[in-house]
Amino acid sequence: MGSFQQLKQLTRGNALFLIIILGIGGSFQTGYHVTGLSSPSPYIQRFINSSWYDRYEELPPPQTVTMIWSLIVSMFAVGGLFGAVSVKLFSGKFGRKKTMIYNSIISIAAAGVMLASKQAKSYEMIIVARILYGFSAGLGFSTHVMYLGEIAPIKIRGAVTLTSATFGCLGKLFGQFFGLSEILGREDLWNVVLCVPAFFSLVQVLVLPFLPEAPRYLFIEKGDEKACKKALQSLWGQGDYEKEMDEMLAEQVAIDAAPPKTSLQVLRDRTVRWQLLTMFIIYWSNQLSGMSTINTFSFDIFLKAGIPRDQIRYVTLCLGVSEIITSIACGLLMIENIGRRPLFWGSYGVMGASLLFVTVTLNLKDSGEWVSYITASLFILFNIFFSVGPGGTTSTLHSELFTQSDRIAAFVLIGSQRWFVFALLGLVFPFIIDTLDSYCFVLFACICLLASLYTFFLLPETKGKTLLEISEEFQSITVCGKSFSDKRKTVTRL
């Protein structure tokens, strides 16, 4: 389906409006908090120093400041881990819509704690606020992607689910924009810049109650066919939606034969072993590709690259602009035309090559000022291909690989490992960059190249296929003549 037809279908009902409201309270929040901490980082570290001095009348050791700063960074991901684990509890009990609303209330509460931390001279309050922000981001991101996957028709499912990545990029851009010294990136406003997302959370709390619940959730989990059809018509305009209802019915039949599973049951189920392994590898590769560390520690990285301190915020803004433009282009032009698989392996390959060249230019930074700007250009190139490939396409693939009986448990498992790696990197990266210096990017480059090989040889194409067809594609994967499903023939088949 062309981009014009996609836009036309999105504007027939409330779907586009719902996508925007979900976006600003979902992945937008995660994106903002990933980059929003970069600009005020020197001010927060000075705040840690001054708070420590006010209490103990002596300056803290540099290692103590680094450790507290690492905790502030990594606690966001620890909160995200707990939020991801809570997806099944919240979305199963309250539904997708109410979960998003309650999640935004948590984000607003976190902003209140962050705002008060400066007056209270408490870096512990910053850590608490980061944990709450993380919990909200972990729960909100997974529910956001799930919600999008359950409202989208088959023909534009890729474009709809890709909007979660687009809003994530938009959040990163806003974090970089509000961090400019001309806006809120000043020492007296560092706590305010970290509270900006609460405004968007408030908008979602006020507006989302008037928009429909996910049709797939209503039909399959609630068994309410009438409400499901009403939701589809509200979202996509008047129509009978027989194809969508038939797909849900086929999935319902499969679920009746195989009821919803726990996370442990999904781990033991050989019929979804390849799907889980694929998403684990992709999410590990995304985190270990260096993208999250570049976003979070961009100020420190560009400072080491030789970019003048007063120009770093503008370079990071260029990163954000390139990412959002690329993400939108991917959604409108690429994902439904090129397919998922080529975007993954091709982008991982270019990302790996870019980071290898970054290692070279970082070691040559003393050769001249121009080398620093080549390094910045390579990071922008890396950023563009991350947005074209894994950054944008992962959320689409995530929503396509699991049927309703496996989906929530899979989201819990994959979300947990995603946030665990994020937390680990946030905690150790400040020490890694001090120890390995520029050579830390060689590690990231190797991860990208291995991910390129895996997705090239083992990832099936999912474009235009139903969830059951995709499941069968994965079950047919063999390595050295063997498949995960070979050893257990009694498993319920979809």
104 contacts 140 by C-beta, under 8 angstroms: yes
Residue 400: is its pLDDT beyond 50? yes
Q: For position 483, what pLDDT does the model report?
A: 63
Instruction: Specify which residues 479 forms β-bridges with.
Output: 482
Residue 207: is its pLDDT beyond 90? yes
Top-ranked range on mean pLDDT: pick from 49-53, 245-249, 407-411, 465-469: 49-53
Render pLDDT for 150-180 as a digit per residue (tens, 0 to 9).
887 777 777 788 788 889 888 988 988 898 8
- Rounded Cα distance, 434 and 391, in Å: 27
- Rounded Cα distance, 259 and 135, in Å: 28
Query: Which tops the pLDDT comparison, 83 or 406?
Result: 83
Residue 7: is its pLDDT beyond 70? no
Q: Which two tokens stand for residue 133?
A: 């922000």
Render pLDDT for 275-304 as a digit per residue (tens, 0 to 9).
889 988 998 888 888 787 777 667 777 877
Average pLDDT over residues 203-226: 89
At residue 426 the predicted structure's pLDDT band, cuts being 50, 70 and 90, is low
Q: For position 162, what pLDDT does the model report?
A: 78
Least confident of 45-49, 179-183, 297-301, 340-344: 297-301
How many percent of the chain have pLDDT more than 90? 26
- Alpha helices by DSSP H, listed for 340-403, are 340-363, 369-388, 390-400
Q: For position 405, what pLDDT does the model report?
A: 72
At residue 149 the predicted structure's pLDDT band, cuts being 50, 70 and 90, is confident
Query: Which tops the pLDDT comparison, 490 or 350?
Result: 350
Residue 396: is its pLDDT beyond 80? no
Average pLDDT, the chain: 83
How many percent of the chain have pLDDT more than 70? 90
Amino acid at 470: I
190 contacts 38 by C-beta, under 8 angstroms: no
Residue with tokens 């981009």: 3
Q: For position 18, what pLDDT does the model report?
A: 92
Q: For position 113, what pLDDT does the model report?
A: 95
Strands of 130-215, DSSP E: none
- Rounded Cα distance, 107 and 198, in Å: 6
Residue 488: is its pLDDT beyond 80? no
Average pLDDT over residues 407-427: 79
Q: Give the global pTM.
A: 0.74
Render pLDDT for 251-260 as a digit per residue (tens, 0 to 9).
777 767 667 7
Residue 147: is its pLDDT beyond 80? yes
Q: Which two tokens stand for residue 433?
A: 């960059």
Angle, CA of 45, 48 and 52, to the nearest 5°: 150
Residue 326: is its pLDDT beyond 50? yes
Query: Which tops the pLDDT comparison, 300 or 447?
Result: 447
Render pLDDT for 245-279 as a digit per residue (tens, 0 to 9).
887 887 777 767 667 778 888 888 888 888 889 98
